[in-house]
Every structure is written in C-alpha cells, then in structure tokens.
Amino acid sequence: MKTIGVLTSGGDAPGMNPAIRAVVRTASQQNCRVMGVVNGYDGIFDGNIEELGHRSLASIIDRGGTILQSSRCKRMYTPEGVDAARSRLTELGIHGLVVLGGDGSLTGARELARRGMPVVGIPASIDNDLYGTEMAIGVDTATNTIMQLVDRIRDTARSHRRCFLIEVMGRNSGYLALTTAISAGATVAVIPEFRYNMEKIVSMLNHRYQEARDNSIVMLAEGVCSASTFMERMQKAVPEGEFDQEIRITVLGHVQRGGIPTHFDRMLGARFGELAVMGLLQQETGCMTALAKGRATLIDLDQVIGKKKHPAPELIRLARNLKVEFGDAVEL
C-alpha cells in the first residue's frame, strides 16, 4: 500500500485534527503518502484531494474542527453512490482509506470495504453513540465545554434561585446530558434511553425549591425533544399552570462542538490515527478503531453498525446514587 486517503465526515469533532496528524505522520514513517480528501465523501466524487505533508500539519494539533472540512454526503446513502465512490477512489490512486466520523459515516466506510476498498474507520462524534468503543473522538472536549458552561449558568441560577433547563446535543444519545449532569451536579437528566416521568420531575423541582429555596439544573438531551417543547410539557404537568420557581431555558447548540481539543481527545486522536494506518498496512479492513477497557484496538464494523449503545449500567447507578433524577427508571 503506497497511498492512503483520509477523510472526515458528518459532524466535526475536536480531536479530528490530531488524528489526521497521526495518520500522516505514521504513514510517512511507514513510507506511504497520504492524500487528504476534502469535504467528506463529497470530495471523492469531486476529486477534491490534496497531498498532506509535514507542512500541512503545522499548528493543527491544537485546533478544533477538521482541516479537511466535512459534509453529510447524500450520495453515499445509495448502493449506486457507493459503487461510484469505490471506482473513483481507484481512479484517484488511493489504495486504502481512513474515515473519521459517526454512525452514518462509518456505515459508508463499511460499504466501501464490502466493495473491496481497504478501509479503517475512526469513531469521531461528540454524541458518543457508537457501539463498540468506550469513547469517540470529541466527546471529552464537548463534555468539558458543557460542564464549564453549566458551571457559569449555575452562578445565575444560584444568584436568582432559578431553575435552568439546558438543552445539549445528542441526537439519539443521552451520554452528554447524563455525564454532564453528574459532573456539573444537575438535579435532573432527561435522556432518550430512559422514559421520563414529568409529574415526578415537576414535583421534585417544586419540592426542592419550597424546602431548600435552592436552584436546580435540568439537563435535557436534544434526542428527547427541544427545550421549548419540554418546557411546554412541564407547564402542562403543573396543576395551577405555574411553577413556584422561575425557569429559564438555555440551548447550548454548536458551542458544544468546537474548541481546543483536550489532552484526552488529542491522545485518543493520536492513538486511533496511528492504529488505523498500522491496521491498513496489516491488511485490516472493514473495521474501526475502538477504546476497550482503556486499550486502543480494532473491531469489525459489522459488530458496530446498526447496534444501539446503551449507557453503561455503572454510569446509571452512579447518577442514581448521586441523586440525579431520571423520572421513571424504565430503560427504553
């Protein structure tokens, strides 16, 4: 294998750049060259590729986002599109491909591998919803960002004895809401994996306010519903139509996805980038780098794609023991 392609696809994640850097450095160490595919899978169709050398790597280790840019490529959703991408990769002289992204991006990677293109995926998505790996690139930075933002919001919550309803990302996953509820000391976590009980949440918030005259934080994963919808539902659940306490909404949005990658994400990017190249050179394909019991390893994409990642039971127990309210204790 002489030429390795690398692309980033789907939502960007802090740590993608350190991973790209590791791919290029490792490949160069193994006498291979790396072509960066610009703008995700779209770059394959458009022939938008550029050689990545040491100069392209200057000052990227501490940058969030992805220097290669990213897209959600519709053409990769059809078998004809994947066939075309497969042929195009050969035309572009790419012998093996590293794909960084989330579930959709790695589904595309598996399809390319099934058509004979050597591909290794790297999980990169702040949602941490990919089955088979304890962590994906970007999760640590995003959770640190959210935690720090919640800390700031709490200053106002304390000062005004308010309740804040904070909507965080996580299309199908409550990981961000759950773990930051623990680390930022929130009162309630509403996540798509568990059924919530609005009456219980409301009476808990009211009781807390009446008894302790305290502030409260509710962490809501966007995968459940929007904060405004949740607020409407909360209001409906209050018999008199009003809360004792003032409630404010904060939707954190895309500030969660940007920013300087943390040490953990840089290390994860470095470990995954290096392993992906070493895997390709050892004829591994159709697989993904994964963190399992703290070790970087390769796992077959067939064991990943289409599987639902549930929150780790010890995380749920931890949240419960620390009195983070879920509403009902029913896992969906």
Q: What is the 3-state secondary structure (H, E, C) of 176-200?
A: HHHHHHHHCCCCEEECCCECCCHHH
Is residue 42 within the footprint of ligand F6P (CB under 6 A)?
A: no
Q: Residue 50 phi/psi, 5° resolution?
A: -145, 145
Interface region with ligand F6P, contact rule CB under 6 A, candidates 53-61, 119-127, 181-189, 238-246: 119-127
Residue count at the site for ligand F6P (CB under 6 A)?
10
Helices (H), the chain: 16-29, 42-46, 79-91, 103-114, 139-160, 175-183, 198-212, 227-237, 263-281, 313-321
Is residue 126 within the footprint of ligand F6P (CB under 6 A)?
A: yes
Q: Residue 247 phi/psi, 5° resolution?
A: -125, 135
Q: Of 216 and 256, which has the nearer Cβ to ligand F6P?
A: 256
Question: Residue from 33, 114, 171, 233 that binds ligand F6P (CB under 6 A)?
Answer: 171
Q: Of 4 and 146, which has the nearer Cβ to ligand F6P?
A: 146
Is residue 11 within the footprint of ligand F6P (CB under 6 A)?
A: yes
How, if at all, do strands 295-300 and 287-292 pair? antiparallel
Q: Of 27 and 130, which has the nearer Cβ to ligand F6P?
A: 130
Shortest distance (Å) from residue 57 CB to ligand F6P:
25
> In one letter, which amino acid is 101?
G
Shortest distance (Å) from residue 58 CB to ligand F6P:
27
CA distance linking residue 133 with residue 237, whole number of Å: 38
Is residue 18 within the footprint of ligand F6P (CB under 6 A)?
A: no
- For the chain, the farthest-separated pair of C-alpha atoms sits apart, in whole angstroms, at 72
Question: Residue from 102, 108, 279, 327 that binds ligand F6P (CB under 6 A)?
Answer: 102
CA distance linking residue 245 with residue 305, whole number of Å: 44
Interface region with ligand F6P, contact rule CB under 6 A, candidates 164-172, 187-195, 230-238, 302-310: 164-172
Catalytic residue among 12, 127, 140, 265: 127
Q: CA angle 10-14-20, nearest 5°?
A: 80
To the query of whether residue 46 is one of the catalytic residues in this protein, the response is no
Interface region with ligand F6P, contact rule CB under 6 A, candidates 15-23, 28-36, 123-131, 265-273: 123-131
Question: Residue from 38, 169, 188, 291 that binds ligand F6P (CB under 6 A)?
Answer: 169
What is the 3-state composition of the chain as percent helix, strand, coil, each rounded to the nearest 5?
45, 20, 40
Both structure tokens of 142: 């995003």
Interface region with ligand F6P, contact rule CB under 6 A, candidates 167-175, 204-212, 264-272, 285-293: 167-175
Query: In the chain, count of helices (H) and strands (E)?
Result: 10, 11
Both structure tokens of 180: 């930051």
Q: Of 90 and 226, which has the nearer Cβ to ligand F6P?
A: 226
Residue 240-279 contact track with ligand F6P, rule CB under 6 A, x = bound: -----------------x----------------------
187-246 binders of ligand F6P (CB under 6 A) = 222
Is residue 14 within the footprint of ligand F6P (CB under 6 A)?
A: no
Which contacts (CB < 8 Å, 24+ apart) does range 310-313 have? 310/193, 311/174, 311/175, 311/178, 311/191, 311/193
Kindly list the catalytic residues.
Answer: 127
Binding site for ligand F6P (CB under 6 A): 11, 102, 125-127, 169-171, 222, 257
